[in-house]
Amino acid sequence: MSEALAGLKVEIAAIQADADAAAEGVARLADLPTTRARFLGRKGAITALMQWLGRLPADAKPLAGAEINALKAQVETLFDSAQARLDAAALEAALSARRVDPTLPGRVVARGATHPIQAVLDDLVDLLGRLGFELTEGPEVESEQYNFDLLNMPASHPARDMQDTFYLDGGLLLRTQTSPVQVRTMQRQAPPVRIIAPGKVFRCDADTTHSPVFHQIEGLWIDKDVTMADLKGVLTAFLRALYGDSREVRFRPSFFPFTEPSVEVDVWTGSRWMEVLGAGMVHPQVLRNVGYDPNEVQGFAFGLGVDRLAMIRYGMTDIRYLWENDQRFTRQFRGGLR
Ligand code: FA5
């Protein structure tokens, strides 16, 4: 063996031992690339060994080359397993840092619920549907013509002041009542008509029983011989279904320009009477306005205050609870309060 080859073998053994210790000694994954490069990089110890090859006689070169390659393979294996060891340690550390404790209580996901107004609205529509009324709808942005004029409330009519109106540009307004849907429906179809029209209405109005936005359900039944007795029958059946037979209800004479005669209905809340609806026999002028002949057909209309009906059902003293979305209030309905 040439002296050079013997020297190479000594060098190889030294690098091998050095690499063993170095690979073993790396404690952090981040330090591994630099340590590895000290042996296997372009300027590393093993690459430097290649210069030995140049100094060897030609017949010794294959053997020396094989020795260096064997060293290179061994050192690569060394660093690969160091890499695997450090990867495993890092994973272990990450897992134990975020260890799952199965005894901890689960995170509670907030569960939504039907809003009390929606719950009552759904029930009312269902109930009136069973009494034979078909569901329809009208726009929230209305014209003065539909909200007032065609309902027998011309501009000069003092009754317009009864409902404080939010006016928009161009003769438009936020509807103050669902009654314009009566007119729209009758213009669209010939009698008989038997519809309900739920929706939001808007008035410049606010206290414990008045909200600036609230819900009404309009009802309309027109046929050849629909009478005030039918009106009373439908409303009584409806209120009984809603509140039970023993709830006290009273009909009072009232006034609306679009009905004659007119009534209002109050429900006893346990401590006071609460007005829940207006109703009456549709005024002949309204029938003429939509092209119906008041000598041929007649009928009744009503407008229910949905938010008030909800207040009574749930024993609320202030309508604003329904609109504030305070979770201490809304959470109480999660289980579907009846
Ligand atoms: C009307 O709006 C008539 N359009 C009802 C009607 C329809 C009469 C068809 C005849 C024929 P009134 O302004 O009274 O009427 O309102 C009807 C109901 O809505 C009231 O009985 C009340 O229950 C409810 N209501 C009225 N204003 C408010 C308000 N600001 N907040 C909550 N509910 C209200």
Instruction: List pLDDT tens digits, range 232-244.
Output: 999 999 999 989 9
Cα 258 to ligand 1 centroid, rounded to whole Å: 13
For residues 68 and 138, state if they share a domain: no
Parent domain of 148: 116-333
**This prediction's pTM:** 0.71
Residue 169 falls inside a structural domain: yes
Cα 277 to ligand 1 centroid, rounded to whole Å: 6
DSSP-derived 3-state class of residue 22: helix
Do residues 55 and 4 make contact, with C-beta atoms less than 8 angstroms apart?
yes
Residue 145 falls inside a structural domain: yes
Determine which residue's CA is closest to atom 29 belonging to ligand 1. Answer: 210
Do residues 171 and 231 make contact, with C-beta atoms less than 8 angstroms apart?
no
Cα 200 to ligand 1 centroid, rounded to whole Å: 12
- Mean pLDDT of residues grouped by 10 in the chain (338 residues)? 78 90 89 91 87 80 88 92 91 85 85 85 93 96 96 82 83 95 98 98 92 97 97 94 92 96 95 96 98 98 96 92 87 65
Tens-digit pLDDT profile for residues 46-77: 888 877 777 788 888 888 889 899 999 999 99
For residues 272 and 139, state if they share a domain: yes
Do residues 140 and 172 make contact, with C-beta atoms less than 8 angstroms apart?
no
Q: Give the tokens for residue 314.
A: 């749930």
For residues 236 and 184, state if they share a domain: yes
For residues 165 and 262, state if they share a domain: yes
Residue 327 falls inside a structural domain: yes
Write the CB contacts of 150 (distance below 8 Å, at least 6 apart in sequence). 180, 183, 286, 289, 290
Identify the domain boundary among 98, 127, 147.
98
Residue 200 falls inside a structural domain: yes
- Which residue ranges have their beta carbon within 6 Å of ligand 1? 163, 177, 179, 203, 205, 210-211, 214, 216, 256, 259, 262, 275-280, 301-303, 305, 307-308, 319
Identify the domain boundary among 98, 130, 158.
98
Determine which residue's CA is closest to atom 21 belonging to ligand 1. Answer: 277
Q: Give the domain CATH number at 260.
A: 3.30.930.10
Q: Which of 207, 216, 265, 304 gets mutated to test ligand 1 (max ligand atoms within 8 A of its CB)?
A: 216
Dihedral angle over CA of 44, 45, 50, 54, nearest 10: 120
Dihedral angle over CA of 303, 305, 310, 311, nearest 10: -140
For 191-318, strand residue ranges (E) read 193-202, 213-223, 249-256, 259-268, 273-282, 298-305
Cα 262 to ligand 1 centroid, rounded to whole Å: 13
Determine which residue's CA is closest to atom 28 belonging to ligand 1. Answer: 210
For residues 11 and 125, state if they share a domain: no
Tell me the β-bridge partners of 149: none
Q: Where do runs of H (alpha helix) occur along 26-102?
A: 32-40, 45-55, 61-97
For residues 277 and 237, state if they share a domain: yes
Q: How many domains would you assign to the chain?
A: 2
